[in-house]
Amino acid sequence: MRDRKYKYVYQLIITSTLLVIIPVLFFYCIVWKKSIHEINYLNNEYYSNTLASFMGSFISETEEFKKHVVGFSIESGTSLTDSGIFFRGTEKMEEFPYYYGEASRKLSEYGTDYGYDNVGIYWYDNDVVISNGFKYSSLSRYLKDGLKIADEKECLYDFFSLDEFEYRQVMVAPLYDEEGVSTKCLIGICTILGKNKEKAMMFYQIDCNDMEYFRLFVHRDGETKYYIVDNETEEILFSVGATAEDYVLLQSTLQDLESEEPEESSQCFAKRNRDMGITFLLDVSEGGVQNKVIELYSSVRVLFAYILIIMISIGFITVYLNYKPLQRLVRKIGHKGNNEFEAILGAWEKQNALLTEQRMSIMGLLMNHLLYGIPISHRYVEKLGVSSDVRKYCVFVIGDYVLKNAEMDDLTQKVEELFGVLLFVNDIMGEKATVCVAFMEEDKSKTIKEWMNDWCRNHIGEGYKMRAGCVVDRLSDIQKSFSECTDMQQQAEVSPEQSEIPEKENISEKVRRRIVINEKLKDKILDYVDENFLDRELSQQQVADCFEISVYSLSKMFNGQIGTGFVDYINGKRIEYAKELLLTTGKNVKEIAVMVGFTNSKYFTEIFKKYTGTTPVEFRVEDK
């Protein structure tokens, strides 16, 4: 039984844990994961749209510049005045040198009108650059003096290389600062100028700090980084918000961008443009608003796990603290049963049976004393649980009515609750009356009588007569109180015309009369039980109520006159009939159990084995 000793507390712990864990798991699997998935989806969509805005803005800017360049190209071959004058080609400029100054002025006006910074023209054939209001005799001179680039940059020479020339092609070249970060870049459009259609490039600078379209379209939160990367060389042509360290970290990311389809992840988003030969990147590896929300969710998840552990721990402690009194009680009463509550229930039933037995013993003493004058030992009554403070006794008789057993229990309980008085209630065999004996610490007989009268009117009606005997100070005098009640009853039954009161019956006559009445009642009860023992609703209380006697009187009659208890008598008759059915029919044990009055086949098997020493199945097999 040791493995079942703490079965209830184990069940309580497991149940409490499951009641906490199951909702948490449900919340995590359904709500939490769905929320994370939704946030990731919105996060990817947000950054994808941001990258698309960045890419679209950049391409829109270059396309706008391309339109101007194409217009200048067409104008340079036809117009002889205004802006077209310096697009007539290098031959015309050599004939009229002041045209270089005119060209520089026109480029400055153009840059101012359209918002382009450091607009310039490079002629491939004679290696001449016009930009910043100056004419540079060579590309090297322009890179050194115009762009302030001391070291030669291969990417810039590739940018202005005739080998890369393709009419109307868009070119991009980085302009690195001292830390090697390209926060500026050159945008060039390959074109032809003049009647001779000389190859040239018109270009300008993009600066992320002062270009309007970056302020309007690129969301800069201090952590999001934007890149433009060359598809072939994987060189970073332009960046926004990046550092030299970010450039190094980005190289590992670029190795994953080999597929033709744009790749998106929670760290880096990419969109490739084949026409321009560049890739647009958005790096959010260090956070951003949405990523911070995801990080917060992750932190909350860890915190939630700790809270869950703490809740379970607190639950264990709470269970332990609240279980300690129950544990002490179980240890005190001894553990018998499948769990602690069965042990307590068993102890309570045992105690209740003991109290019932004590009350039955006291009832037996009282009835023998009241009816037959047998003396009562005060010391013995105290051993049966009656308090030594009880010093007053009084008998109440409810004439012309026998209380049902449920009414007796209700009356006893109410008197004990309201008045603190121990009340013993029983019928008088052979007489239609109910006797109540009150054990009191002080005289409350008048109050109790008034209350009992009200109780009887509510439960019985008018068909009763209430008598109260005198209050006595000793157990041995209780019969005096009872006799006073019976005397009042006999006097009330004498008619006014009768002049003489009949003599009282002596005790022996009363005993003989009651014996005869009891024998007749016993025969009637046995006949009734023999006819109805197969009824599953048959009970001791039902039989007692049927014959207007108490359960105590019925039990006393079976034990004293038949020699066995009521339940044993019924079970014995049922088992005998069950044996007959087992031998003469093919019905199974469950069916036979129901036929003989048992509601449970398992209980039937236990009783059958108790009476016969074998199970129903074994009995049937052995007989064959």
For 517-541, how does the pLDDT look when each residue is reduced to its tens digit (9 = 90+)?
Answer: 778 888 899 999 999 999 988 888 8
At residue 452 the predicted structure's pLDDT band, cuts being 50, 70 and 90, is: very high
How much is the pLDDT for 492? Answer: 67
Domain boundaries, the chain: 45-206, 336-493, 518-624
Question: 75-91: b or e for each residue (b if 16 or more CB lie within 10 Å)?
Answer: bbbeeeeebbbbbbbbe
d(CA 316, CA 126): 90
d(CA 77, CA 97): 19
Beta bridge partners of 440: 392
At residue 104 the predicted structure's pLDDT band, cuts being 50, 70 and 90, is: confident
Question: 507-532: b or e for each residue (b if 16 or more CB lie within 10 Å)?
Answer: eeeeeeebeeebeebbeebeeebeee
Architecture of the domain whose range is 518-624: Orthogonal Bundle (1.10)
How big is the CA angle at 533 (ends 530 and 535), to the nearest 5 degrees? Answer: 140
- Candidates 136, 172, 135, 173; CA nearest to 154 is 173
Asked whether 407 and 416 are in contact (CB, 8 A), the reply is: no
Q: Average pLDDT, whole number, for the chain?
A: 79
Task: Report pLDDT digits (tens) over 147-177.
Answer: 887 666 778 888 888 988 988 889 999 988 8
Size of the chain in residues: 624
Architecture of the domain whose range is 45-206: 2-Layer Sandwich (3.30)
How much is the pLDDT for 83? Answer: 46
Average of pLDDT values for 226-235? 88
Written as six digits, the tokens of 142 are 């322009």
How much is the pLDDT for 3? Answer: 44
Task: Report pLDDT digits (tens) over 469-519.
Answer: 999 998 888 889 888 888 887 776 554 544 444 445 555 666 677 677 778
d(CA 390, CA 144): 123
Task: Report pLDDT digits (tens) over 556-597.
Answer: 888 888 888 888 899 999 999 999 998 888 899 999 999 999
Class of domain 336-493 as given by CATH: alpha beta
d(CA 69, CA 75): 10
166: DSSP letter: -
Average of pLDDT values for 99-121? 77
| Phi–psi pair at 120, nearest 5 degrees | -145, 165
At residue 624 the predicted structure's pLDDT band, cuts being 50, 70 and 90, is: low
Asked whether 426 and 367 are in contact (CB, 8 A), the reply is: yes
Q: Is the pLDDT of residue 260 over 60?
A: no
Torsion of CA 257, 258, 260, 266, to 10 degrees: -20
Half-sphere exposure of 13 (CA within 13 A, CB side): 13
Q: What is the pTM of this model?
A: 0.48
Q: Is the pLDDT of residue 243 over 90?
A: no
CA 318, 322, 328, 331 dihedral sign is negative
Question: 567-577: b or e for each residue (b if 16 or more CB lie within 10 Å)?
Answer: ebbbbebbbeb
Half-sphere exposure of 104 (CA within 13 A, CB side): 13
